Amino acid sequence: MTEGHPKTHPGKILVVDDTPDNLRLLAGYLTGQGYEVQCAISGALALIGIKNSPPDIILLDIKMPEMDGFQVCQRLKQDSATHDIPVIFLSALNSGSDKLRAFQVGGVDYITKPFQLEEIVARVENQLSLQRAKAEILNLNAELEQRVNERTRELAQLYLHLQTSEERFRTVANAAPVLIWMAEPDGQHSFVNQRWLEFTGDSSSQLLGNAWMQRIHPEDLPCVRQIYEAAVEQRQNFVAEYRLRDAHSAYRWVLETGVPLLTAGQEFAGFIGCCVDIHDRKQTEDQLLHNALHDNLTDLPNRTLLMERLKLSLGRARRYDGFHFAVLFLDLDRFKLVNDSLGHGVGDRLLVAIATRLNQLIRPTDLLSRLGGDEFVILLDDIESAQEAVQVATRILESLQTPFVLEARDVFISASIGIVLSSPEYQDGAELLRDADIAMYRAKTQGKARYEIFNPVMHQEVLRRLHLESDLRQALKQQEFVLHYQPIVSLSSEGLADFEALVRWHHPQRGLVPPDEFIPIAEETGLIVPLGKWVLQEACRQMAEWQRQFTEMPPLRVSVNLSVKQLQEPGLLAYIDDVLAQHGLSGASLTLEITESMLIDNAETVITLLHELRSRSINIDIDDFGTGYSSLGYLRRLPIHALKIDRTFTYNLALNADIVKAIIALGHALSLDVVAEGIETLEQTELLKSLNCEYGQGYYWGRPLPPWEVGQWLREFSVKD
């Protein structure tokens, strides 16, 4: 996304968030962008501030104590004084149901935390542009109508004053710079001034009666006739905007007003009126509306216009049984990597190129919209079956296999697509986007670069995940987690080398929840950071206790997994130092496990951090090696202690022997130890020994045990170096 966004004039923004750090970050950045920023740390304070000093737009957090963001927005929309203030929700909540509720209570946009500050400015400026466009158009219309009405009333008074001297009236009317006309009581024109003749290039006889209407644009003519007939019937003023063909056969917009003529006896004598050329103003107005309804980077329809089109399609589907449509929600895969590695300028050009390519794959009657960031939505109107939507999705996936050439380099990108089909159950566009988003997310989790069609089961799964997320937040407060420890064994000596700490969740109703069910949710919501801190704290506490209990053994080590979000925490190094010092442990007692993807996404930052950790004698292992994207250049630069072969290779070791052998050879070439995960049999153990694999981990050597069982296991296990 672009760094700067031109503003007609600064807007006043109210930021509502119960986290002071978020307020400081947003207020500082937005102030630097030229906006006037106010802050509120609660919903109640926000409502008081809005009443005293209404902002132009509100950035509103959802999860706040006492009064959440949904309640604040509802209160605003119920008050006529604040009803039109646009509200953009900022939240870590990323479920379709949360987004749906945000739009149902009156929000105009929804940005998911963690967010990019540039994206917030783009979304804010989009809404402010829409507000400015509406206000400017209203002001222009009101001002123009007032001027034209005043001129028309002056003409009527002049005409009545000069009835005794028709020649004097014609002289004044023909000298006027506007198009002046007179009509009989039946509505037919009886007089047009010289400006009319110059504008149209016709003679006076060609424009009298109803012949002048032939110059009105065919699309506007029915409406103009209706306005005229109503004015004649009710003897009242009228205003009409329409396109009139000029002497060069070009249509130009005019604003026409008419007032009834009354005789001295108050009898209706016809109309007098004038037309003003408003073509330039109309073009400006159209451009303002276009800008307010289109994305400023790709010029595609934005969310506002998309929601209007969805509303129309839902209405047609309710009126006509045979009308069906589909919505495709596209999210680019790994777009952040493009932005981070090649820069935002290249990222912007890629988005424009993708928009161009997508537009070539749909019909003129369909709609391609950009919601913001790397999200696109396609509305396929009037389709026969779901197969048509599938065909479009397939064409898109195939088209994206061809790289985009940007700055003389090939840039590859793929997309995950969610498809939702029209149904009588849908009441508004937000529900359609929610379910298309859910289906897109399913496509992401199933491997990316694919499509998924929404079904109600997905919605139930999202609700289940939402409940699980809520329970997960509660679990952190109630300390419902426990660590289990799995031994890592030297294959040559069969001595204990390490323990890996594995987190388990004892849910009060569901019992033991598998890590692969709650860890992804913790990653998405950011809860992995406090959970990861707890795991590190508890693992070190337990290890210090065992070292005090088993002094006759060599100092025990514990391995702890780090997530990418933890690596991005600026205070991670200081926290690890504090934990080790608190429990009297040296860095040699700790191994930290990271994945290959962390090296690719955050290479330079990770390299610096890992060297700092290694200087403290902390071991660094690469977990699940062979399942992600690796760079040998990065591996050589990193102070890594060991590679851990993923269990998927060990499970069918006979089939994957060549791969495992290659990983072990790579590790040894880089002077690294190798740990094989998922060992379950003696045969696997013997084969790994023959390949010179140093360490093993798996059920064959021991299942993950709760801490109270590890003590007994240690007493029975012969510890060797």
Domains of the chain (ranges; CATH) run 1-115 (3.40.50.2300), 139-283 (3.30.450.20), 298-454 (3.30.70.270), 527-704 (3.20.20.450)
Q: Are 538 and 579 in contact (CB under 8 A)?
A: no
pLDDT for 189 equals 81
For the stretch 507-546, pLDDT in tens is 888 888 888 888 888 888 888 999 999 999 999 999 999 9
Round to whole Å and give the CA distance between 416 and 374.
11
- Token pair for 20: 């002071």
β pairing state of 87-91 and 109-112: parallel
Longest Cα–Cα distance of the chain, Å, equals 125
**Average pLDDT of adjacent 10-residue blocks, the chain of 721 residues:** 45 87 83 86 84 88 86 87 87 76 85 79 81 71 69 64 57 72 82 85 76 86 89 87 90 90 78 86 82 89 92 91 92 87 88 95 94 93 90 94 88 93 89 91 89 83 77 89 93 89 90 86 87 95 92 87 86 94 94 79 74 93 74 74 90 86 91 93 92 93 90 66 38
Write down the pTM of the prediction.
0.54
Residues with Cβ within 8 Å of 339's Cβ and at least 6 positions away in sequence, in order, are 346, 347
Neighbouring-strand partners of residue 436: none
Closest CA to 591 of 485, 715, 480, 516: 485
Round to whole Å and give the CA distance between 141 and 135.
10
Angle at 154 between CA 276 and CA 211, to 5 degrees: 45
- How is 86-137 classified by DSSP, letter by letter? -EEEEES---HHHHHHHHHTT-SEEEESS--HHHHHHHHHHHHHHHHHHHHH
Round to whole Å and give the CA distance between 84 and 482.
50
Round to whole Å and give the CA distance between 518 and 511.
13
Residue type, 389: A
Residues with Cβ within 8 Å of 530's Cβ and at least 6 positions away in sequence, in order, are 476
pLDDT for 355 equals 95
Residues with Cβ within 8 Å of 463's Cβ and at least 6 positions away in sequence, in order, are 97
pLDDT for 632 equals 66
pLDDT for 266 equals 76
Alpha helices in 235-302 (DSSP H): 279-293
- How is 533-597 classified by DSSP, letter by letter? HHHHHHHHHHHHHHHHH-TTSPPP-EEEE--HHHHT-TTHHHHHHHHHHHTT--GGGEEEEEEHH
Cβ neighbour number for residue 489 with a 10 Å cutoff: 23
- Token pair for 202: 């016709």
How much of the chain is in helix, strand and coil states, percent to nearest 5?
Answer: 50, 20, 30
pLDDT for 512 equals 85
